[in-house]
Amino acid sequence: MPVIEVKRSRLPDIPDEELEEILHMIKAPVEEKGEVWKLEITNDRPDLLFSSGVKRDVLGFIGKETGIPNYKPTPSGIKVVSRCPSRPFLGCFVVKSADFDVQELMDFQEKLNVSLGRNRVKAAIGIHDFKKIKPPLEYLSGKPGEKMRPLGMDSELTLKDILVKHPKGREYAHLADGFPVIKDFHGIISFPPIINSWRTRVTEETRDLFIEVTGTDEKTVTHVVSILACNLAEAGGKVFSIEVGQKVFPELEPKQVELDPSYVEKVLGLGMGVDEICEILERRRFSVMRIGDSLRVLVPSFRTDILHQVDLVEEIAIGYGYNNIRPRIPSVPCAGKLLSNGWDAAREIMIGLGFQEVMTFILADPREQFEKMRINGSAVELKNPTTERMSICRVWLLPGLMRILSKNMHAEYPQKIFEVGDCILPDENSENGSKTVRRICGAVSHDRVNLTEIKSIVEALFKNLKIEYRVRPASHPSFIEGRCAEVVVSGKPCGFFGEVHPEVLVSWGMEKPVGAFEFELFSSEKNIEK
């Protein structure tokens, strides 16, 4: 989320601690304090990207200034002709004697370009010194050979050359289709969305601004103009409107949103009266009219984030204070308890048998799952894996344990590890083409590990879990022929154990033998008593 830097002196004159607390609640938490404060601004509040916007919100929160702010623009008498098909929308206005820091304004502009403006595509802002501009103004498609001295260059360049020679030109050349330009009496003042002219540049002495916003999305252009105009008006500026074709900018008429107090109660459940709801909304800088049982809320034009009455409910919760909402245990007739699901018992038994529990990733490497284990098979594949090592869902756990053993050949032996985890198997009969099974897998490695040792561990596990089982010889490509067995529970095989095949050990680069088992102990629904 964007971080802005604001001089402390531009924020309300209340104790630092109180201010920090409030900023936290209005979605502008403090990252750093000092002469300059760094605030992290939530993405849905672009109006807070400038100090005056933050101040307006805080003053409302503490009840010092409430209700919808009134910024009525005065007609400037200026009309702009707009005819640039490749970037069709323009909104512009003039603001005089606003109190701002040039650097902060430039940062604000750039953050709006990036966020609301979608990196200058939907909308891009140009800010000029109004005193250096001579109407009439016109917005049109320029010619590649026309010249302007851009900011950051010491001579005139053709528009075509700006796209090659100017850093911003190179960065945004892909948006320069049709060479949009804004001209005044003397020539080009702006080449949106690339760069402004040096002639109309803003300096420390500038107090009167001409602000133009161009873009490909009309609504975004209107929003960006509103936010700029309202924040500069809040900073003490006087806003003058400009006619662009049939429209007048800035468009600062509030939006009306109906709010049903019973809906507020349904969402928040705080038992608030209508008076309290109105009082809080006024503190959050809205104005409220009562229409019978319902409320009509006037939403200022800079609050582009209010899309639905639920957003006003959020404002009410913010104004009430999230920290003032007390947790309450719901009055339900029973309390829950933890399921003892057998797997935990199995894990404790394994730990009791001296095994170290590990957890490996569910996403796996197909070579490790199959080739290195001497088996073939299919797995659920990721459509867009970032690496081959994590491109399928594991179909069994043993490769994960082999991997850990192979990485720990320097560690003390014997090594005994186990994992309880989910595997995801392709399943044509299931709705999503896969099924998830939970398994337990153990591996033992030292010089003299053998089938007998693994069998004794497996039997200890099943006996302690009080599961009736039978063992019968089996064959599995990952294990040595004749040193492998499967366990049958209720007539069905539930897994296998044995001595890992030497070719598998070699493929993992391992020097000591490994004995291992892997079982599906319980079907997912079945729970056993501990």
Partner 1 sequence: VYFDSLGKWVEVGGAGLLRPEVLEPLKIRKPVIAWGLGFTRLAMFALGIDDIRNLFSENLNWLRRKEVYAGNRG
Q: Is 492 exposed, middle or buried (0-12, 13-18, 19+ CB in 10 A)?
A: exposed
Nearer to partner 1, 136 or 414 (CB): 414
How does DSSP classify residue 41? Answer: P
Nearest to 175 by CA among 231, 148, 214, 205: 214
DSSP 474-521: ---TTEEEEEEEEEEETTEEEEEEEEEPHHHHHHTT--S-EEEEEE--
Nearer to partner 1, 188 or 401 (CB): 401
* Vertex 314 angle, CA 309 and 315, to 5°: 95
Nearest to 70 by CA among 281, 319, 283, 287: 287
Question: Across-strand partners of 37?
Answer: 6
CB of 363 to partner 1, least distance (A): 13
Nearer to partner 1, 165 or 266 (CB): 266
CB of 408 to partner 1, least distance (A): 4
CB of 169 to partner 1, least distance (A): 39
CB of 410 to partner 1, least distance (A): 8
Nearer to partner 1, 93 or 343 (CB): 343
CB of 310 to partner 1, least distance (A): 5
CB of 354 to partner 1, least distance (A): 11
Nearest to 84 by CA among 168, 136, 158, 143: 143
CB of 347 to partner 1, least distance (A): 9
How does DSSP classify residue 371? Answer: G
Count the neighbouring beta carbons within 10 Å of the beta carbon of residue 387. 9
CB of 37 to partner 1, least distance (A): 16
Nearer to partner 1, 348 or 422 (CB): 348
Question: Across-strand partners of 83?
Answer: 140
CB of 385 to partner 1, least distance (A): 18
Q: Is 228 exposed, middle or buried (0-12, 13-18, 19+ CB in 10 A)?
A: buried
Question: What is the rounded distance in angstroms from the CA atom of residue 213 to the CA atom of residue 123?
Answer: 6
Give the largest Cα separation in the chain, rounded. 97
Instruction: Catalog residues that contact partner 1 under the rule CB under 8 A.
Output: 266-267, 308, 310, 338-340, 344, 348, 356-358, 403-404, 407-408, 411-412, 415, 417, 530
Is residue 160 within 8 A of residue 145, CB to CB? The reply is: yes
Nearer to partner 1, 292 or 322 (CB): 322
CB of 407 to partner 1, least distance (A): 5
CB of 288 to partner 1, least distance (A): 21
CA atoms within 13 A on the CB side of 178: 15
Nearer to partner 1, 28 or 232 (CB): 28
Nearer to partner 1, 278 or 345 (CB): 345
Question: What is the rounded distance in angstroms from the CA atom of residue 72 to the CA atom of residue 350?
Answer: 74
Nearer to partner 1, 54 or 405 (CB): 405
Nearer to partner 1, 24 or 455 (CB): 24
Q: How far is CA 300 from CA 53, 71, 257, in A?
A: 12, 10, 11
Give the CA dihedral 474, 478, 483, 485, nearest 10 degrees.
-30
Nearer to partner 1, 334 or 338 (CB): 338
